[in-house]
Amino acid sequence: WIESSLKISASEQVYVMERIFGPDTVYRAETIRQLKQVMLVTDQGETGFPVYGKTGLGKMAGVAVDSWFTGFADTHGGIVYFSVYLGETEGAEVSSSKAKEIALQILSEL
């Protein structure tokens, strides 16, 4: 478990994404289509495949203490679910933009 402002762990976030967008989803195709439209990352960089995600940020006393980017990518080899979590670190950028940047870099290497 992560000691942070999150009420859900990174692995639980991945599980939620898989339950919503995976083959055993209980949601209608139109609902999935609309969610994917909202979650589509427009600055996919060099991945060469669609990436869908959601950012988040936790603050304590006005200071960012954790951030994340969670979602999935429709890669050439199939769907890959992911969650990048950044905790408060002295001298390091803790932002959901940075978490997204890291996720896209990792995905571009697939």
pLDDT in tens, the chain (110 residues): 445 566 778 889 999 999 999 999 999 999 999 999 999 997 777 788 999 999 988 877 777 778 899 999 999 889 999 999 998 777 777 889 999 999 999 999 88
CB-count burial class (<10 Å; 0-12, 13-18, 19+) for 64? middle
Per the confidence metrics, is the pTM higher than 0.75?
Answer: yes
Query: What domain count does the chain have?
Result: 1
Domain hosting residue 63, numbered range: 10-108
Establish if 101 belongs to a structural domain. Answer: yes
| Domain harbouring 28, CATH code | 3.40.710.10
